[in-house]
Structure 1
Amino acid sequence: MKQIILGTAGHIDHGKTSLIKAITGTNTDRLKEEQKRGITIELGFASLDLPSGRHLGIVDVPGHEKFVKNMVAGATGIDIVCMVIAADEGVMPQTREHMEICALLGVRHGMVVLTKIDMVDEEWLELVTEDIRDFTVGTFLEGAPIVAVSSATGDGIPQFLEELDALCDGVPERGTTGLFRLPVDRVFSMKGFGTVITGTLISGKVGVGDTIMIYPGKTTSKVRGIQVHNQGREAAEAGMRTAINFQGLEKTAINRGDILARENTLIPSYMVDLELHFLPSNKKPIKSRTQVRFHTGTSETMGNLILLDRDELVPGETCQVQIRLDEPVSLIRDDRFVIRSYSPVRTIGGGKLLNPIPVKHKRFHQEIIDGLMGLVDAVPEGIIDHHARMAGPVGVTFDELLLMTNLPAKELDSTIGAMLNSQTLLLADKESRRYIHLAVFDGLKQLSQEVLERYHRDNPLKPGISKEELKSKFPRQASGKLFTLVLNRMIKDQQLILADDTVRLATHTVSLQVDQKASKQQIIDIYAKSGLTPPYFREVIKRLEVDPKSAKGVLELLVGEGVLVKVKEDLYYDRVTIEKLKDELVAYILEKGEISTPAFKDMTGASRKYVIPLIEHFDATNVTIRVGDIRKLRKRQ
């Protein structure tokens, strides 16, 4: 059966609590102070069986202006509102503010209940009724039923229940496929049960034994018991007024305003992007960076309103904004919110969330402004496209997109699958399900192309750049997996060639100038003739009288080609000479079992300045291993 929550709204002392008592028999004013003062301070709860057999949960909210924040908390999750107006007073200030709040929170179904009709005559009742019709013009209650009742005498109560039953038919079913979320509106301890919370389950479902997380603090606990309308249940689903008690959870670990959800399904954030409607009833514009009270779910958080495309917002206008909060909130796209001024406290605007986990935006950045405007009515593909573009090389995960799109997991998975097939998105990390936008990916490919072009231009004699150096040119937010993905794609597309951890453009070839070709042959001849006592390279440069930078490039080319071997800084050998010495060294050790440094010196016939670098070179290339003052073969030859 359809799960429906009925909420009251209206000015103080207009009979909200009396109406609920008349139809349910429950006095929702449970606090001694409420009963003593005759006003509702905290939220009250009851349930009702309608003539059709439909079961409703009821939330009674306070009407006094000092307790509007409690009213906002109670209005979260309601499907139908009863705007209660006393016949002897008519429309009052809190009637108007409650109407604005309900509209801002997205309430679309309701009726006006004209109470205390036993205190006025027929003529006055007609005047008040006409005034109410004028009041509701342009609101979601325009054309809604106006039912006159007396909670004291019972007059009109049957008609009220019939209208309420009919209204329920028009309330759409809530889906149960979304993330489980329950904003906490009450916390208390009960003997034998421990810590108990209550709230309206706004999406998903929860069962006994489930592990839940309390956001934004991320405390975890296990559901010990569930009640719906004072009846024990094994599970509760969206639309139910729900009470849950937990195993081993201290009362101090949870507060009104917290949200219950599955582990690691929500992400606390100190910033949110919003579409804000600034109420026409405001007396003056609001400036950027104004401190405001941000109400969403059952929470109230202080924050600063950041206008991104203007310096002030005029009454009646709507725009996209960012709010930077003093405390984190854990929300999802399309959550409704209300903003109230810091002082004096009154409702000034509200709307719905566009992005619950944004980065800090710069003001007057046109791409940001256009992107947020596009999010307002975007289809799922457009929302994903925007967030993937804005995420840049960091990418965006599946879990983040669940919050950014407010889509059921299966629908999101299907949408992402279609975008992967069209290659609008690419999977950058399978394990974390992190996605990169094609435009970002192409940008990294272009960056690689430009880095290599510049490198080849500056180092024409080098075969290419090392993988690590190329990776260092990527944005620091780019992961190693993303770098590898870009590299492999460019290799597959025959744009790059990777050889021995050296990357080059497929079009790059080493090209020597005429003077470098001459230098190359001269350097080869010098090292081939010098045997085991070659000159240091700085001496070669002086002998040839060539440009040091040009000669260094030729040298590195010869090393890369394997013609020369670098033994230590500035000391190079002809490869044939080194290989011949290696064979002699191995043969000697195989016969003798070991070799000492003096014996190696006799073998080479060279001075100590060559002997030590040579024997250390063979150590470094895993031919020999030093054991005390002698060398042995590192492995059998």
Structure 2
Amino acid sequence: MEYIIVGTAGHVDHGKTVLVKALTGVDTDRLKEEKERGISIELGFAPLRLPSGRLLGLVDVPGHERFIRQMLAGVGGMDLVMLVVAADEGVMPQTREHLAIIDLLQIKKGIIVITKIDLVDGEWLDLVQEDVRRSVQGTVLADAPIIPVSAVTGEGIPELLNKLDELAAVTPPRPARGGVRLPIDRVFSITGFGTVVTGTLWTGTIKVGDDLEILPQGIKTKARNLQVHGKNVREALAGQRVAVNLAGVDKEAVGRGSTLATPGHLPSARRIDATVKLLSGSRTIENRSRIRFYLGTAEILGRIILLDREEIKGGENALVQFLMEEPVVSLRGDRFVLRSYSPMETIGGGVVIDPDAPRHRRFDTNVLASLRKKLEGTPGEVLAQIIKEHRQGINLTEAAAAAAMNVDDARELLHGMAAEGLFVMLPCEHDLYIVDREIMDAWWRETERALTDFHCRYPLRPGLGKEELRSRCFSQIPARVFQPLLEQWSREGRIVFTAGTVALAGFKPDLTPKQKELLEGIAAYYRTARWQPPDFKGVAANFKVQPSELEELLHYLVREGVLVKINEEFYWHREAFEEAVNVVRELGRTGPFGLAEVRDALGSSRKFILPFLEYLDRLKLTRRQGDKRIFIAN
């Protein structure tokens, strides 16, 4: 079943709450002060059953200008709106401000409800309707139906219900798949249960037991219990009014303006790129002016940085970056409302372009072109731009979130673009890591230079160490991406790599005749020395080679399995080493043995046997037991 939220808007005392009661039977003024003063102060909620059987959630917002923040907290989650105008007063200041907010948020499906028609005659009602129609021209409600009603006599209520039913049937439902996003509009605690938050579930599905996160605080929690319209449920779907009992959360740690979300689903940032439009007649806004920013149920103070001009005048559009005093939870495409810092007046609104933006230079043509592309481009163009801007690549989940897309839809688009050669997609820990082709090519050029240089400097080595290559060229990308990157280049035939090294494809250690002669001589030298091998300096002096060259030759013989490196000073010939291991194994068959026993069995000295036994300890062939050792390998 699809769920829709319908809300009221309009001037104070124009009959919104009475209308809600006539439609639902619920008095949404629950506070003592509301009943004493006869006006709504807080948001009110009620279920509304339509003639077709469809169940709507109805949000009643305050109309008084002092409670515009509460109004904004409710209007952000509406799918349908009823703009309420009293027949005896007509269009009033808050009618116009609420209408401007509806237009800024682009709530395109709505009904204009003329209330209190029992207080006026037909001629006056006609004049009011004409005034209303003029007032909504040029807004999203320009073609909205006008339905006169009386909550007292019931006149027009059936027609209103039928029209709501008709509009609800053609209103797209909120997406139940994807991550959870619930802007919190109320927080309270229940003895024995703990903290409860309420709000309209914008996207996703919440099930009892689900892991959730409260943003921007970053508090991890679980859904302990769920209610929809006062009834316990096992799951809540997008478009429903939901109360969530949270596990392990203090009431004081959460408030209106926080967001309940799937962990890792939503960014939280102090810098946001956006496009802004000021209302006609609004005051001029200069760069770095302080503003009040409203999105979902949140009100955040910040400064507006004008990226493409020095000031914005009423009726103008501009590209901006907001620098907020607190983190903002948002997604690309979210609509918001702006009010001036003082006096508090609605001045405009806009659309989020980048919910977690880097700092920009003003009037930078590349930045402005990028923002326009992300604002106006197709989904594919938006994804492409986001990926291009991530010079170190980006995983699929993050790219989809930045583009405000479902992950499956983003994956399908990216597969097509990857097939065209625009991107490279690297499988990475149950996700995909996306790299722009130009960046990938630049990475390869840097890697090719590093490997070529290494092969030239160390022609006898099989390749550059993997970790050295990663730290030298790829320290900025996640470590988990490095292996898939090497595998991609290996599939393309560019490199060969092992558990420890990376080499250019086709590279083989190239021995000169002199090096071959030296290697044969060194190997024979160690074979003859057996268990009294020469030290490093002795070998260098005997063969008249520089230490750096000898080091390369010895490394080569170790890799080829001819020598065994005992420590930095001593190498043993493989044959001598294996024979010595067999001797130690035989000694170990009768119990623990000491260094002297091994020394005497091999006819060597402590100088050589102690490093040898320590090496066996490192290999876990032997283990110290006091001043003795035991042989522990099979």
TM-score (norm 1): 0.78
- Measure how far apart 1:340 and its partner are: 2.6
> Which of 426, 434, 437 lines up with 2:435 in the alignment?
437
Distance in 1 (CA, whole Å) between partners of 2:152 and 2:267 is 47
- Measure how far apart 1:42 and its partner are: 1.5
- Checking the alignment, whether the CA contact within 8 Å between 1:214 and 1:258 is kept in structure 2 is no
**Match for 1:59: what amino acid?**
V
* Aligned pairs for 1:440-459 within 5 A: 443-459=442-458
* Aligned pairs for 1:31-50 within 5 A: 31-46=31-46
- Measure how far apart 1:287 and its partner are: 1.9
- Measure how far apart 1:632 and its partner are: 7.3
Q: What's the counterpart of residue 372 of structure 2?
A: 373
Distance in 2 (CA, whole Å) between partners of 1:500 and 1:625 is 28
Q: What's the counterpart of residue 222 of structure 1?
A: 224
**Match for 1:96: what amino acid?**
R
Give the SS at the match of 2:276.
Answer: strand
**Match for 2:59: what amino acid?**
V
**Match for 1:41: what amino acid?**
I
Kindly indicate whether residue 145 of structure 2 is the aligned counterpart of residue 145 of structure 1: yes
Distance in 2 (CA, whole Å) between partners of 1:441 and 1:631 is 53
Q: CA RMSD in A?
A: 4.8
Distance in 1 (CA, whole Å) between partners of 2:499 and 2:49 is 77
Q: What's the counterpart of residue 500 of structure 2?
A: 501
Instruction: Assess, with a 3 A threshold, how the Cα gap between structure 1 residues 524 and 311 changes in structure 2: closer, same or farther.
Output: farther
Instruction: Assess, with a 3 A threshold, how the Cα gap between structure 1 residues 512 and 86 changes in structure 2: closer, same or farther.
Output: same
Give the SS at the match of 2:45.
Answer: strand
Give the SS at the match of 1:71.
Answer: helix
Give the SS at the match of 1:473.
Answer: helix
Give the SS at the match of 1:62.
Answer: coil
| Length, aligned pairs only | 627
Distance in 2 (CA, whole Å) between partners of 1:567 and 1:2 is 72
- Checking the alignment, whether the CA contact within 8 Å between 2:564 and 2:577 is kept in structure 1 is no
Distance in 1 (CA, whole Å) between partners of 2:209 and 2:589 is 74
Q: What's the counterpart of residue 96 of structure 2?
A: 96
- Measure how far apart 1:419 and its partner are: 6.6
CA offset digits 1:309-337 (Å, max 9, x no partner): 66655544445555454545555444332
Distance in 2 (CA, whole Å) between partners of 1:268 and 1:154 is 47
CA offset digits 1:534-571 (Å, max 9, x no partner): 76544665677765545554554455455665454355
Instruction: Assess, with a 3 A threshold, how the Cα gap between structure 1 residues 259 and 612 changes in structure 2: closer, same or farther.
Output: closer
* Residue ranges of structure 2 left out of the alignment (5+ in a row): none
Instruction: Assess, with a 3 A threshold, how the Cα gap between structure 1 residues 476 and 120 changes in structure 2: closer, same or farther.
Output: same
Distance in 1 (CA, whole Å) between partners of 2:567 and 2:409 is 62
**Match for 2:96: what amino acid?**
R
- Checking the alignment, whether the CA contact within 8 Å between 1:10 and 1:83 is kept in structure 2 is yes
Give the SS at the match of 1:94.
Answer: helix
Q: What's the counterpart of residue 301 of structure 1?
A: 300
Instruction: Assess, with a 3 A threshold, how the Cα gap between structure 1 residues 627 and 150 changes in structure 2: closer, same or farther.
Output: closer
**Match for 2:36: what amino acid?**
K
* Residue ranges of structure 1 left out of the alignment (5+ in a row): none
Bigger mean CA offset, 594-603 vs 19-28? 594-603
- Checking the alignment, whether the CA contact within 8 Å between 1:393 and 1:436 is kept in structure 2 is no
Distance in 2 (CA, whole Å) between partners of 1:618 and 1:172 is 71
Q: What's the counterpart of residue 66 of structure 1?
A: 66
* Aligned pairs for 1:467-616 within 5 A: 467-498=466-497, 501-511=500-510, 536-538=535-537, 549-550=548-549, 552-554=551-553, 556-561=555-560, 566-571=565-570, 578=576, 582=580, 613=611
- Checking the alignment, whether the CA contact within 8 Å between 2:272 and 2:357 is kept in structure 1 is no
Distance in 1 (CA, whole Å) between partners of 2:466 and 2:119 is 86
**Match for 2:373: what amino acid?**
G
CA offset digits 1:394-447 (Å, max 9, x no partner): 74254x4664455556655655666777784534334x4243336365554444
- Measure how far apart 1:269 and its partner are: 1.6
**Match for 1:133: what amino acid?**
R
Q: What's the counterpart of residue 341 of structure 1?
A: 340
Q: What's the counterpart of residue 183 of structure 1?
A: 183
- Measure how far apart 1:453 and its partner are: 1.4
Q: What's the counterpart of residue 80 of structure 1?
A: 80
**Match for 2:134: what amino acid?**
D
Q: What's the counterpart of residue 463 of structure 1?
A: 462
Of all paired residues, the percent bearing the same amino acid is 39
CA offset digits 1:82-139 (Å, max 9, x no partner): 3234456554432332122112222002233445667778777666554443332221
**Match for 2:84: what amino acid?**
V
- Measure how far apart 1:509 and its partner are: 3.8
Give the SS at the match of 2:502.
Answer: strand
- Measure how far apart 1:388 and its partner are: 4.8
Bigger mean CA offset, 18-27 vs 214-223? 18-27
- Measure how far apart 1:495 and its partner are: 2.8
- Measure how far apart 1:11 and its partner are: 2.8
Distance in 2 (CA, whole Å) between partners of 1:2 and 1:574 is 77
Distance in 2 (CA, whole Å) between partners of 1:627 and 1:222 is 55
Kindly indicate whether residue 107 of structure 2 is the aligned counterpart of residue 107 of structure 1: yes
CA offset digits 1:574-613 (Å, max 9, x no partner): 667x469749966995999998766776787777655655
Give the SS at the match of 1:376.
Answer: helix
Give the SS at the match of 2:78.
Answer: coil
Give the SS at the match of 2:112.
Answer: strand
TM-score (norm 2): 0.78
Q: What's the counterpart of residue 29 of structure 1?
A: 29
Q: What's the counterpart of residue 350 of structure 2?
A: 351
* Aligned pairs for 1:262-341 within 5 A: 264=263, 266-267=265-266, 269-271=268-270, 273-281=272-280, 282-288=282-288, 290-305=289-304, 313=312, 315-319=314-318, 321-323=320-322, 325-328=324-327, 330-341=329-340
**Match for 1:222: what amino acid?**
R
CA offset digits 1:447-473 (Å, max 9, x no partner): 432321121233334332223322332
Give the SS at the match of 2:229.
Answer: strand
Distance in 2 (CA, whole Å) between partners of 1:390 and 1:342 is 33
- Checking the alignment, whether the CA contact within 8 Å between 1:271 and 1:322 is kept in structure 2 is no
- Checking the alignment, whether the CA contact within 8 Å between 1:266 and 1:330 is kept in structure 2 is no
Distance in 2 (CA, whole Å) between partners of 1:584 and 1:5 is 81
Give the SS at the match of 1:218.
Answer: strand
**Match for 1:30: what amino acid?**
R
Distance in 1 (CA, whole Å) between partners of 2:319 and 2:132 is 33
**Match for 1:219: what amino acid?**
T
Give the SS at the match of 2:11.
Answer: coil
Instruction: Assess, with a 3 A threshold, how the Cα gap between structure 1 residues 474 and 155 changes in structure 2: closer, same or farther.
Output: same
- Measure how far apart 1:73 and its partner are: 1.2
- Measure how far apart 1:522 and its partner are: 7.6
Distance in 2 (CA, whole Å) between partners of 1:618 and 1:254 is 59
Distance in 1 (CA, whole Å) between partners of 2:582 and 2:23 is 107
- Checking the alignment, whether the CA contact within 8 Å between 1:189 and 1:195 is kept in structure 2 is yes
- Checking the alignment, whether the CA contact within 8 Å between 1:227 and 1:233 is kept in structure 2 is no
Give the SS at the match of 1:184.
Answer: strand
CA offset digits 1:35-71 (Å, max 9, x no partner): 3333322123345566677655432222222211111
